[in-house]
Structure formats: structure tokens, C-alpha cells
Amino acid sequence: QFDEMVYMDKLTTTGQMAASIAHEIRNPITTVRGFIQLIQQDTVDQKLKKFAPLILEELDRTNNIITNYLKLAKPESFELTKVELNTILSDSIELLRPLGTFSNVSIEFTPFKESCFVKGDIQHIKQSLLNIIKNAIESIEECGVIDIRTDIDRNEGRAIISIEDNGKGMTKEELKHIGLPFYTTKTKGTGLGSMITNRLIRQIGGTIEYSSELGKGTAVTVTFQLV
């Protein structure tokens, strides 16, 4: 029922990246400059203290963009070994459960019936799952459910993880933009999460597919090679 789109690497040139990063970083810096100018004035009083959290937030956002950008520019090394998916999945889910609870989102998880060994790198898989689940949580406005299911395709020799949310979903057009550098619809987003996720998964021989329907939700399907 979902509208499907297979992931493609959308990063074409580093020049494009450099141009957009300059643009993206200028926004939070401009905000911070504005507040600092205010603080310089004679009328400075205790009331200005209320801007401190905003200033810090904008600085953190800038820092975040740079950290993520560096991750792209200089991908961390990884090791292809035999890793167990149930453990990585439950570790990742438990890390995000508090954020889920805070956002009125419950996370349901059906693990692989038995231990599931795949070819991969623990950090790569964990980082990818965290990014995907975090997006799912953020797509839910009031309250909702994330359903994480697992399956094995013996014929293809693949372990399948599907992460489905009943959040706001995406239009066909929006779906096309996922994974483009700095594509975000969030006021505090970086628009780098999906791009990094796609790259990490591909690097270890996995696949990722997004399908979504506006107002209904999104399903992300990730597969890894069984060993």
C-alpha cells in the first residue's frame, strides 16, 4: 500500500556539499550574532538571560551540522565481521525508548526467532538503526506506534528489518528527497541523517528502501547479508 522508492546515492559532487554547508551554517550563526548584538547593548538586563538557552541551542545545532558533515567527508573505518542482529536491535531500541516515551510513542519490537548473524559492523548498523528510529519518532506528532519487525529470506540469504511508523508520512515528492544533503522538513533538523544512514548501510553490503504515504506513515526496510 506504500509508495515505494529504492535508495540511490544522491551525493553527486563535493562542491554541491560545500555550497550547501556554507548556506546551512550561516543560518544558525546569523541567529547567534543577533542575540550577541542584543547583549552588547546598554539596556542589557536579567531578561536577556532567557536568550541563553536559544543561543546555546543554535551553537549546538551548528556544531551538529559540522560533526555530521565531517562524518561524511571522512567516513569512519569499519570492520566487516559476523555480528548478531537481535542484540544490536534491542540495544538501539532501548537507547531511544526514553525519547519515545517522552514523545508519546511506543516502540514494539519482534526480534528474530533465533540469534541472527549477518555480515556487518556493529557501529554502522547501530548508527543506522538509531537514525531511522529517531526519524520515525520525530514523524509522530501527537502519539503513535513504531513497529519493528524482523524476517529472514533464506533464498536471498538476507536478514530483513522493517521499521514502520504511523506518523505523518511523506508525499511522493518528499520521498524523492530523502537522503539528499541538507534536505530536512524540521526546524531543528540537519538533513544529514538519512544520507549517512544510506551510506553506512551500503558500505557493509546492506540495502535500504523507504516507502511512505502521506498521513498514514512510513516504512523503512533494511536488509543485511546472512552469514
Site residues, ligand ADP (CB under 6 A): 131, 135-136, 139, 165, 167-170, 178, 183-186, 189-195, 218
- Report the alpha-carbon distance of residue 91 to residue 101 in Å, rounded: 16
The interface with Mg ion within residues 12-51 (CB under 5 A) comprises: none
Task: Please list the residues that pair with 144 across neighbouring strands.
Answer: 105
Shortest separation between residue 186's beta carbon and ligand ADP, angstroms: 4
Q: What SS3 state is found at 118?
A: strand
Residue closer to Mg ion (CB basis): 55 or 125: 125
Amino acid at 216: K
Residue partners of 13: CB distance under 8 A and separation at least 6? none
Residue closer to ligand ADP (CB basis): 211 or 223: 211
Helix or strand holding residue 95 (H, E): helix 85-102
Shortest separation between residue 132's beta carbon and Mg ion, angstroms: 8
Contact of residue 184 among Mg ion, ligand ADP, none (CB under 5-8 Å per partner type): ligand ADP
The interface with Mg ion within residues 111-150 (CB under 5 A) comprises: 135
Shortest separation between residue 151's beta carbon and ligand ADP, angstroms: 20
Query: Contact with Mg ion (CB under 5 A): which of 144, 169, 193, 217?
Result: 193
Q: Do residues 160 and 221 lie in contact, with contact meaning Cβ atoms separated by under 8 Å?
A: yes
Residue closer to Mg ion (CB basis): 28 or 193: 193
| CA 118 to mean position of chain CA atoms | 22
Residue closer to Mg ion (CB basis): 5 or 39: 5
Shortest separation between residue 83's beta carbon and ligand ADP, angstroms: 23
Shortest separation between residue 1's beta carbon and Mg ion, angstroms: 24
- Report the alpha-carbon distance of residue 208 to residue 163 in Å, rounded: 11
- Report the alpha-carbon distance of residue 7 to residue 180 in Å, rounded: 11
- Report the alpha-carbon distance of residue 10 to residue 20 in Å, rounded: 14
Under the rule (CB under 5 A), what is the footprint of Mg ion? 135, 193
